[in-house]
Structure 1
Amino acid sequence: MIENKVLLLKTNCELEIVSIDINNVLKELQKLVGGLIEVYPKEDGKYLYIVDEEGICKSKEYNMLAKLIFDINIVGDLIVCDKKLLK
Structure 2
Amino acid sequence: MAWFVKIERGIVDKKRFDRYVPAHKAYVKELIAQGHQAKTGYWGDFGGGMLLFEAESEEVAKTIVANDPLILNGCVEYELHQWCIVVD
Superposition TM-score, scaled by structure 2 size: 0.32
RCO (CA 8 Å, sep 6+): is it higher in 1 or 2? 2
Structure with the larger strand share:
2
Query: Which is greater in Rg?
Result: 2
Write 1 or 2 for the structure with the bigger share of helix: 2
TM-score calculated relative to the size of structure 1: 0.32
